[in-house]
Chain A
Amino acid sequence: MSRINRARIVDGDQATAASLNDRFDDFSQANALNRFNLRDAAVDLPQLAKSPDFQAPFIQVDDIGKSDLLHASPVSVSGFSSAPYTSPHIVEDGAGNATFATYSGGLTVDPEEVLRIYWSLSVDADLSGGPENDGFQAIVVNDTTNAASAISTSAGCFVAWLQWDITSSSLTNWTEVPGQGDFKTAFGSNYGNALSFCKATTVIPLWASYPPVLSDGKPTSARTTNSMGWRGVSGAWHYVPTSSTTIYGLRIVLLGVMHPNRVSTAGANNLVMDTAAGGVKTTLKYTGGQLVTFVNRVQ
């Protein structure tokens, strides 16, 4: 009983040891305090334990890439020249040291929690090899002289995605996070991912190319092609595990040059490697960014 329900003492009552003891014993009710003892808005900060890490049990921030704000000496990644590739490029510090998040003793995320990942990186594209019309990167139309003339789709891109190691702290078993493919699936003679397996992917566009002069709806042979230039890119990924999962490391990897592709028989929209635009023709440069790991309880 959480409420003391004993009649008041009134004139004429006889005071006995038992009745006096009862009036104090009324307050000794272990496990009895309940909603009858609470009023509206009675629970405030002082009634809650200090920082028990209940709603937000984990936060960590890791620097990735190379801190080089003014692009004095960025890290360079050449476009990949063979498909399927062997290993993607791991974001590093410019001295060959991979930069990624590690979690001391492993970070265990339970099914009642959501893993929230946010990251950023500054990137630029070096197109000095002129990749914009190679491989899948262009369509052909008739120009003002009725000659075949290539126009870049401007859809060439690098991709950045998340890998984790949920095997051990030795960090030798990196795999794609759930919902993410490794861009090695064969689509005819091409290799890439269906878009449905790009759920932890950030697309990094490389250039925009257009015919600056049109006449009667037809372009001249002139083209203006601009690199995307230095720009910040970012990514976010949220995940609720179906069973408790311990994460030992999380990293960003890069791959390019990619281009949209559709296999009509499979009916899927894909992002595939275009090695004709890779190699020395396209180089992705990057400097620094951060990787934020945050865990929230959702149940």
Chain B
Amino acid sequence: MAYTKPNTFADGTTLTAADLQGNVDALRVYLHNGVIKTDLNNAKFVTTRHVQPPRYSALEGLQHGVTGYQGGQWSGSLVRLQFATSYFQGNGRNTSNGAWSRVPNTAFSFDLRRDAKLLFHWYIEVEAGPDDVPQVTGRTNAIADRHVYFAPYYGTTSDSKRNVNAQEVQNNKGGFRSTAPYGPDEGYTVCNGYGQRSGVHAKSLSAGTEVEFGLCVYSEIDRSAVVNWSIGIEAWYL
């Protein structure tokens, strides 16, 4: 409540140091810890200049302010492939359990100062294959049934929602030409070794959490890569 002095002085009474100091002490407590909402004017009086401006980290592409985190990163104007090959997971695996790797650079890492609701947006452009290594039953899928899977993760690549959220791109299943000019026998099309994928991963998290949102990959294809990518984060404190 608004400040009320504990001692009221009256004519003809002795002014004591204790009463005077009592009023001052109460005032000190009020000014440091006692202002409540009924002390504030009802009309809006906080303007933009009164709010602490957000801090911007150019390296992370993030700004952090009173409303939370916002920001994004992208692969840049040059094509810089991020390899997403089955070599990372071990060639011949036929299970995705424990075989996921981070896609380099495609992650945000920061700490939350408040409870927050978060959205992680992601986009990738992928070239996959050709991988025409012969099929081995139980170890290596048929050439036309090899995929590279991308999934957003929170915390670690063993995120329980990884398998549900994953989106796949199919191998360029035409294999390689056996005569010159050597190279892929079929072009990279949306149904043959090329794809663009996007999605959103959402979480509610508590204050103090060390957040890591990113993209991970599980590949059944020996040569596959992320050609372009972008990621964005919204973390809402309020």
Contacts and interface: CB of A to CB of B under 8 A. Distances in A.
Interface stretch (A44-52, A75-83, A182-190): A44-52
B9 A290 contact: no
Interface in A219-261: 226-234, 236
B47 A35 contact: yes
Contact of B96 (A2, A51, A70): A70
A299 to B, nearest CB: 14
B30 interface: yes
B76 to A, nearest CB: 24
B191 A229 contact: yes
A20 B3 CA distance: 15
Interface stretch (B79-87, B132-140, B196-204, B225-233): B196-204
B211 interface: no
Nearest to B200: A118
B168 interface: yes
A294 B169 contact: no
Nearest to A288: B164
A59 B195 contact: no
Given A44-B52, A61-B202, A290 B238 contact: no
Most buried by A among B13, B94, B164, B189: B164
B202 A294 contact: yes
A71 B164 CA distance: 12
A13 to B, nearest CB: 15
B202 to A, nearest CB: 4
Nearest to A42: B50
B149 interface: yes
Interface stretch (B101-109, B111-119, B176-184): B111-119
5 contacts: A17-B11, A28-B5, A67-B163, A122-B168, A232-B166
